C-alpha cells in the first residue's frame, strides 16, 4: 500500500526529473556545454550533469548566476515559457529590433544588450545570386552581450555584422537563407576558415585555406558542388570579414 509520504516522494522525484530535462533543453538551446558553467559561476560540469539527470535540483544561486546567459528560468522551474522566447530564430526583420532566440539568446537586461547591424548585403554561396556590395543597414538585432563574450571571445562586439547567405555550395555548414555573423575586423586569412569575399562587385561566402606553396585555395563545403579556385596573386579579391557563427547555431 502506497502511503501519503511515498506518494509525495514520487511527486518530488518526478518534478526533479522534469526540471533536469528542461535545464538540459535550455542549455542545448543556447548552444552551451556543461563545462561552460565552470567559468560562469564556478559550477562543475559533473554538478550540472547531475541536475540534468534528475539526481537533485539546481540551487537558487545557480539560477541567479546564469539568468544573464539567456536561460528561461520560469520555464525550467514551471514548464511554462516566458513571453517572446518561443519566437522563430530567423524572424529578425520586423519589427526593426526584433530579437533572436534559440542559439542566440535574447538579452537578459539593458546592460546585456548588444545591437548587431543586419546588412542588406547578401553573400552568395552559389551561382545566380547577385550580391549588394553596399553596407546598407536594414535593422539592428539585439542579442546577449554575455553570450557573445562567451562564444566569440576573440571578436570585438562592435565589429560584428549579420548578413544573409544564399545558395547551396556551403550546404552542411551554412544553409541557404541562414544568417552569417561576420567579424569585419578580419581582413587577412591568418587561419583557415569561412570568409566573406568580394570579387567582381559581388560577395561570396567560401572556405579559404592556405596551401603548402603559400597560395590560397577557395572552396565549397557541399561535396555535390566541386568548386575550387586557387588565388595566384592576379585575382582582385577583397576579404570583408570572417564568418564566426552561423545562425543555425553552428560555431566556426
More confident residue, 105 or 53: 53
Given this model, what pLDDT does residue 131 score?
38
| CATH class as words, domain 4-78 | mainly alpha
pLDDT given for residue 29 in this prediction: 75
pLDDT of 231 reads 57
Each residue's pLDDT tens digit, 188-222: 888 888 998 888 777 888 888 888 887 888 888 88
110-251 CATH choice from 2.60.40.1930, 2.40.128.720, 2.10.109.10, 2.40.10.170:
2.10.109.10
How high is the pLDDT of residue 184? 92
Overall average pLDDT of the 89-111 stretch: 52
What does the domain layout of the chain look like in residue ranges? 4-78, 110-251
* Percent with pLDDT over 90 in the chain: 10
Residue 10 vs residue 74, higher pLDDT: 74
According to DSSP, the β-strands at 202-210 and 193-199 are antiparallel
| C-alpha distances in Å from residue 48, one per residue of 39, 60, 164, 245, 249 | 13, 13, 36, 25, 22
Q: Of the candidates 144, 78, 141, which has an alpha carbon nearest to the alpha carbon of residue 111?
A: 144
Amino acid at each position: 500500500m502506497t502511503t501519503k509520504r511515498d506518494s509525495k516522494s514520487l511527486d518530488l522525484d518526478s518534478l526533479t526529473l522534469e526540471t533536469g530535462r528542461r535545464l538540459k533543453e535550455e542549455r542545448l538551446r543556447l548552444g552551451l556545454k556543461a563545462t561552460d558553467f565552470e567559468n560562469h559561476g564556478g559550477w562543475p560540469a559533473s554538478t550540472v550533469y547531475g541536475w540534468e539527470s534528475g539526481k537533485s535540483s539546481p540551487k537558487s544561486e545557480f539560477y541567479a548566476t546564469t539568468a544573464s546567459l539567456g536561460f528561461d528560468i520560469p520555464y525550467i522551474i514551471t514548464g511554462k515559457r516566458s513571453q517572446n522566447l518561443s519566437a522563430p530564430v530567423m524572424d529578425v526583420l520586423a519589427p526593426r529590433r526584433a530579437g533572436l532566440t534559440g542559439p542566440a539568446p535574447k538579452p537578459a537586461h539593458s546592460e546585456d544588450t548588444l545591437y548587431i547591424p543586419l546588412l542588406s548585403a547578401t553573400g552568395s554561396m552559389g551561382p545566380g545570386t547577385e550580391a549588394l556590395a553596399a553596407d546598407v543597414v536594414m535593422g539592428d538585432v539585439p542579442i546577449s552581450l554575455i553570450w557573445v563574450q562567451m562564444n566569440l571571445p576573440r571578436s570585438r562586439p562592435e565589429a560584428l555584422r549579420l548578413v544573409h547567405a544564399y545558395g547551396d555550395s556551403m550546404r552542411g555548414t551554412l544553409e541557404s537563407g541562414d544568417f552569417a555573423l561576420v567579424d569585419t575586423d578580419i581582413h587577412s586569412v591568418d587561419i583557415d576558415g569561412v570568409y566573406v569575399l568580394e570579387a567582381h562587385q559581388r560577395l561570396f561566402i567560401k572556405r579559404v585555406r592556405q596551401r603548402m606553396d603559400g597560395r590560397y585555395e577557395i572552396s565549397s563545403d557541399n561535396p555535390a558542388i566541386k568548386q575550387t579556385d586557387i588565388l595566384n596573386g592576379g585575382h582582385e579579391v577583397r576579404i570583408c570579414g570572417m564568418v564566426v557563427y552561423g545562425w543555425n547555431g553552428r560555431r566556426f
